[in-house]
Amino acid sequence: MVQRQVPNPAELLELMKFKKPELNGKKRRLDGALTIDDLRLIAKRRTPKAAFDYTDGAAEGELSLTRARQAFQDIEFHPGILRPAPDVDTSTEILGGPSALPFGIAPTGFTRLMQTEGEVAGAGAAAAAGIPFTLSTLGTTSIEGVKDANPHGRNWFQLYVMRDREISYELARRAAASGFDTLQFTVDTPVAGARLRDKRNGFSIPPQLTLGTIINAIPRPWWWYDFLTTPKLEFASLKTTGGTVGELLDAAMDPTISYDDLAVIRDIWPGRIVIKGVQNVEDSLRLRDAGVDGIVLSNHGGRQLDRAPIPFHLLPEVRKATGDGFTVMIDTGIMNGADIVAAVALGADFTLIGRAYLYGLMAGGRAGVDRTIAILRTEIERTMRLLGASTLAELEPAHVTQLTRLVPVARAAAEAVAR
C-alpha cells in the first residue's frame, strides 16, 4: 500500500514555480515560436493578405513548392550509434570565404513590402550570425544600404539580365565596388511565372487600396503605420513601379538571355559567380565546363514553372556528375534545420533560405530574422548530434535515404522489368 499524508504547503511551493511573465509582446511572440511553421503563423496574423500571399504563394497550382517541401519530409535518417558528438561545428567554407552555418539568406524581391525593415533586417541578422546575405536585383534597399547594414560581413548580389542590359551591368559594377564578393546570376526567369494569388489579391507595386484590402488591414494597423511612416520604397533597378509584380517582371526581363550574356557578366564581375536556377544534370555539367564557380539547384521557390524538377531530388545525381571540386548549392522548400543537414549529407556545399527568412521578418522584423536563424541553428545542431556527426564534413549519403513518392513512369517500368 502507498502511504498517504497531508500535503505539505512548503513542498507544494517547491513544485509550483511560476514563470515570470514577459511584458514585451514581440519578444513573447518570438520566444513562443519553436519552428519556422510557428513563425509563418505569426507572420500570417500580422501581415495583410496580399503581402503575405506574395511571400507564401507560388506559381499556378503551387505543385512545385508543395513537392519541394514534401521531398524534405520524405527522408529517413540513419544515425550512427556510440559516436558521441557533444560539440558540433556547423561552420563551413563557401565560395572563398567562411560561413558559421551551412546556409545563407537567399535573394528576395520587394522585401520591405513584407515588413518595413526589409533587407536591412536580413543583412544585419546575417552579419550577427556570420552567414552570407544576398540582395536581389528587385530588392527594396540599395546596394549601398545593404553594405551599410552589413559592413564587415559577406554580401552577395543576385542579378537578372534585363532588357536594358546596361542597367544590369551597372548594378554588377556597383555591387563589386561595394565589396560584394559573389554574384548569383539567375537564369530561370525569362518571363514571370503565373502567380495566381497575386492576381486574385490585386497585389501591385505600390499597393493599391480596394475595399477588400482596407477590410483586411483593419486588424493590422501596425503594418500600415510602418509602411506609411518609413522612407519610400527604393528599388535596386526598376525605374517604374506601377502594376502587378508579374507585369513588372515581364516588362523588365528578357527571354533572349543566353551564354553570350554569361560571358559578358563574367568579364564585368571580378569575384565569384554562381548560376542560380539550374534544374538538370546536363546544364550543371555545361556550366561547370564553362568555368563558373558554382551553381544553385533551384526552381525559384516554385514561383516560375510549376511542376518543375525538385531540387532536393536532383542533388545526388548532380553531385555525382559534377564531382566534389565543384560548388553545388540548393534552395526551395527548406523549412527545418534537418532539411539543411539532409542536403549537406547528400552533397550540397551550401543551402539558401528564402521564405523561412521572410516569415521571421514578417513575424518580428530584425528580431524575427534572428529567431529564424536561431531556430534553424538549433535544429541543425540537434540533428547532427543525433546522427553522431561532429562536423559537416562527417555528414555523408549513408546518413540519409530519400523515400520514393514521385517516380518517373519510365524509371518505374524499367525497375519493374529488372525485378
Active site residues: 300
Q: Residue 183 in 3-state DSSP?
A: strand
Residues in the chain: 419
Query: Cα(392)–Cα(400) distance, rounded to whole angstroms?
Result: 14
254-267: string of b/e by CB count within 10 Å (b at 16+)?
A: beebeeebbeebee
Amino acid identity at 60: E
Buried residues in 47-79 as b, exposed as e (16+ CB within 10 A):
bbbbbbbbbbbbbbebebbebbbebbebbeeee
Q: What is the largest CA-CA distance in the chain?
A: 88
Nearest to 128 by CA among 107, 102, 101: 101
**C-alpha span between 127 and 134 (Å, rounded):** 12
- Nearest partner of 405 among 106, 71, 2, 125, judged by Cα: 71
Round to whole Å and give the CA distance between 374 and 353.
13
Question: In angstroms, rounded to a whole number, what is the distance separating the alpha carbons of residues 65 and 63?
Answer: 5
How distant is the alpha carbon of residue 235 from its chain centre? 20
